[in-house]
Structures are given as C-alpha cells and as structure tokens.
Amino acid sequence: MAKYDDASWHYDGDYPEDLPAENASTHIGMFLAWCINNDLISEELQEDSEEEIDDVKSRKMTGGEFLRQVCDEKFSDYDLNETGNEFAEDYYEDETAFSENYKGYFDDYAEIFNTTGHDFYKLPDSWENYDLITPRINQRFREWKEFRLKK
C-alpha cells in the first residue's frame, strides 16, 4: 500500500500547538471527498464503508471526518480506483510532470484559501470550504485528462 498522505505526518512535528490534531486532516479530506463525490474510490472502500460514503455524498460527514473515522487518518492507493490513483499520483503528489505544467493540489489549496505556513492548518473543515476548492479540482481533472492524451 502506498500512502499519499497521513494526518500524523502533519501534526507530528512543527504543527501549531493551538490547533487540534484533527485540523491536519482537512486538506486531505477535501481531496478525498472530491474523489468520493466523483466516484473515484475503490470497490473495496465502497464495500467496506458504504454508509459513511453515503454520508459524505449527502454532506452529513465531511471528508476530514471520513478520513479520521474510516481511513485511520491515512489516504492511500487502497482508497481509490485506477483512475483515482492515476490522478492522485499526478496531482496530489508534488513534483510530477503534470504539477510542473499546471499546479499540484497543495499549491492550488494554498492559493484558493490564501494560506501559507501554519495558516494552512487553520482552515475549517466545512462544506463551504469544500465548495471553494471543488471548481479548481474539477479544472485540474479536466486538464489532467487532456495532459494524459498528449503523453
């Protein structure tokens, strides 16, 4: 299993002392919620967490909550289907050919929410914020599909 991200990577270390550890899962959860809402999750995750996935799709549970409650704070290739993994490898990961030609997820997240340094973790895990980042992820997904055709 290859991990894309883990909330503990963020809150273990130079993490703001005044923030709860759960804030480290907000950015991961927003991307994961987008994957859930766009049917890019694995069959295994769908089978194992059908009720929680429905809760995300109906906005009863945020992506950050899903990450903490279902995924043990870890976002990995197990969570996504083939297309989801290919997109995550090119967009969520840093320093890929795609992210160098466009932008990676973390750069887009920081730009959309105007965050730098520790401010990155202060963003509330809310559907309102998810709605702000979703158009950019949609745009990158469209660009990514075109980018793949050019390879």
pLDDT of 151 higher than 80: no
Question: Whole domain around residue 44: which residue ranges?
Answer: 3-13+20-150
Separation between Cα atoms, residue 92 and residue 94, nearest integer Å: 7
Distances in Å between the Cα of 74 and the Cα atoms of 21, 26, 32, 42, 65 are: 13, 12, 10, 15, 12
Q: Residue type for 13, please?
A: G
Separation between Cα atoms, residue 144 and residue 104, nearest integer Å: 11
The winner for highest mean pLDDT among 14-23, 113-122, 134-143 is: 134-143
Residues 70-81 have pLDDT tens digits of 999 999 999 999
pTM over cut 0.85: yes
The average confidence (pLDDT) of the chain is 94
Which pLDDT band, with edges at 50, 70 and 90, does 116 fall under? Answer: confident
pLDDT of 118 higher than 80: no
Separation between Cα atoms, residue 71 and residue 101, nearest integer Å: 31
What is the number of domains present in the chain?
Answer: 1
